[in-house]
Amino acid sequence: MSNHSPLSNESVAPSNPDAGAERYHRRLARSIKGPAQFLAFWAAIALPFVHLPLLARGLGDPDAVLAFSLLLGCNVVALYVGHDHNRE
């Protein structure tokens, strides 16, 4: 005979010590996901306006090319991270 209880006893520590750390990391990831998507979404909207002065000045200077490339890379990352913001 087995003694299965319909009630779970969550006060008992897990038999695997890594399970608690895994739950903590999942909870932390869920709590960071929303604000990160929010910031990335709005950064993806705002960053193209920073590109305009660089393009108006021209990309003849290597520093301007580097700045433009970094901004473009940041914009791509922001688009990727923020694309699911506020979707049901």
Task: Give the Cα separation of 79 and 73 in Å (integer).
Answer: 10
For the segment 44-77, what is each residue's pLDDT rounded down to a tens digit? 999 999 889 888 988 888 998 999 999 999 999 9
Please say if the pLDDT value at position 38 is more than 70. yes
Using CA atoms, how far apart are residues 52 and 44, in angstroms rounded to an integer?
A: 14
Q: How confident is the model at residue 18 (pLDDT cuts 50, 70, 90)?
A: confident
Amino acid residing at 28: L
84 neighbors 44 (Cβ within 8 angstroms): no
pLDDT of residue 13: 56
Whether pLDDT at 12 is above 70: no
Residue 39 main-chain phi, psi, to 5 deg: -65, -40
Angle, in degrees to the nearest 10, between helices 62-82 and 17-57: 140
